[in-house]
Amino acid sequence: MIPQQLIARKRDGHALSRLELEALLKGYLQGDVGDDQMAAFLMAVYFRGLDDSELETLVEVMLRSGDVLDRSDAPGPRVDKHSTGGVGDKVSIVLAPLAAEMGMIVPMMSGRSLGHTGGTLDKLESIPGFRTRMSLGRFNGILDSVGCAMIGQTDEIAPLDRRLYALRDVTATVPSLPLITASIMSKKLAESLDGLVLDVKVGSGAFLSRTEDARRLARAMVGVGRARGLAVTAVLSAMDRPLGRSVGNALEVRESVACLAGKGPDDLRDLVCELAGEMAVSSGLVLTLAEGRRRAADVLAGGGALERFRRLVRAQGGTLRLSRDDCGLPVAPMTKVVTANRGGVVAGIDPRAFGYGVIPLGGGRTRQDQDIDPGVGFELCARVGDRVSRGDPLAIVHGASPDDLFVGARVLEDAVKVADRLTVDPLPLVLERVVSG
């Protein structure tokens, strides 16, 4: 195999055979194909796409690049949720312990920040001591004792996704339907699930922002699941504004803890209950989505999910101080409040600007090997549709230095629009669902 010949074929719009694609991907895993060549190939896929047979091969090679989780003797249905990526999307942190408390087993494999979107692993690692890398034996042990466990792609599970994911992040090749489909479905198929719920984001903060593209992505992922006997439900949800009020790793964990305690922003709670309801339906715990939503809301209100989260954090080596306002999480040394420079209605909050805005504060990456500052980020004081007067707080920047506060404030001034009236209606929180036929 000559990698550059295969890259050129894809660049010129031809389909690769199964053997060719397998050789390229396996060559990358073994070190015979370099990061530079794989980055060029990913860019060619970004522009040219993959046909059904190429997509199937990509999923298969990514899935088989590692082990498949052992089902052990799970005392309940194994169900997971995965998001296509959004801004302020801390749903997994609430959902995993909530679903476990509802009686499901949740072996959750998440990712790091990708493009302008945050990553569940980075958020969890803002909890002092929390480990997202562990042996599969330990992972299974936590699943047995807590009912949920949260890790990243490892050398054992979907290692090819781990490498491609990091490369896509820094080469602007994330927003590709086949690459997202293969990345998500290879990880999820490796979890040996009974049911999977996908949260497919729509809007300017999503990788594929238009509803029709999100729908195509949802159908592609549901189709891959169906072909392999996995029941998949995809929920299209709004990402035309950040989810909840906080964007930034530790800030989002704090908001998740509030949600687990039955508080926190309504949109976060409602989406969590919707997805938990879908998970409960797909695992056969309830017959209707309405019943699933209701159960989820009751469990959140009762505090059981928060206690489950505390056990999860302890089992994964972390320490949370729930009696403190900051939960014992890292806090940025300084803050700056950005206020409205006119009265009117908050007509738009650009999620993508928020997502990219966290990176110069130190809360996201521009290179694969960068450490991140967990304490920095943004907190919204107003939401789309709110009336504000001149001088009212719109949002707070949490930063490490006066320069960072200045940079963050500029981001906010551009991202939060105040106008005489709403110019575009916000998307409904849940737009539609796509289910396995």
Q: Return residues touching ligand URA (CB under 6 A).
A: 84-85, 111, 114, 165, 174, 179-180, 183-184
Q: Please count the CA atoms within 13 angstroms of the CA of 75 that sit on its side-chain side.
A: 11
Which of 112, 187, 352, 365 is catalytic? The answer is 187
CB 346 within 8 A of CB 333: no
Nearer to ligand URA, 271 or 394 (CB): 271
Catalytic residue among 10, 48, 78, 82: 82
**Residue 12 DSSP one-character state:** T
| Cα 18 to Cα 193: distance, rounded to the nearest angstrom | 26
Angstrom distances, CA of residue 322 to CA of 37, 272, 330: 47, 21, 14
Q: Is 417 a catalytic residue?
A: no
CB nearer to ligand URA: give 225 or 348.
225
Determine the residue with CB nearest ligand URA: 183
Establish whether 168 is a catalytic residue: yes
Compute the least distance from the CB of residue 177 to ligand URA, in Å: 10
Helical segments of 283-338, H only: 289-302, 304-315
- Structure tokens that stand for 181 in this block: 């489909």
Q: From the CB of 315, what's the least distance to ligand URA, in Å?
A: 23
In degrees and rounded to multiples of 5, residue 79 shows phi and psi of -135, 145
C-beta closer to ligand URA: residue 85 or 357? 85
Q: How far is the CB of 189 from ligand URA (least distance, A)?
A: 12
Which C-beta is closer to ligand URA: that of 57 or that of 113? 113
Whether 10 sits among the annotated catalytic residues: the reply is no
Residue 213 is a catalytic residue: no
The catalytically annotated residue of 78, 81, 254, 308 is 81
Annotation marks residue 187 as catalytic: yes
83 is catalytic: yes
Q: How long, in residues, is the chain? A: 437
* Residue 65: CB minimum distance to ligand URA, A: 15
Per the CB < 8 A criterion, the answer to whether 407 and 361 are in contact is yes
- Write the Ramachandran bin of 212: left for phi over 0, alpha for psi from -120 to 50, otherwise beta: alpha
The number of angstroms, rounded, from the C-alpha of 410 to the middle of its chain's C-alpha atoms is 26
- Is residue 401 part of the annotated active site? The answer reads no
The distance of closest approach from Cβ of residue 334 to ligand URA in the complex, given in angstroms and rounded to an integer, is 32
From the candidates 57, 117, 181, 183, give the one annotated as an active-site residue: 183
Q: Check 48, 188, 295, 308 and give the catalytic one.
A: 188
Residue whose entry in the numeric block shows the structure tokens 């929390």: 130
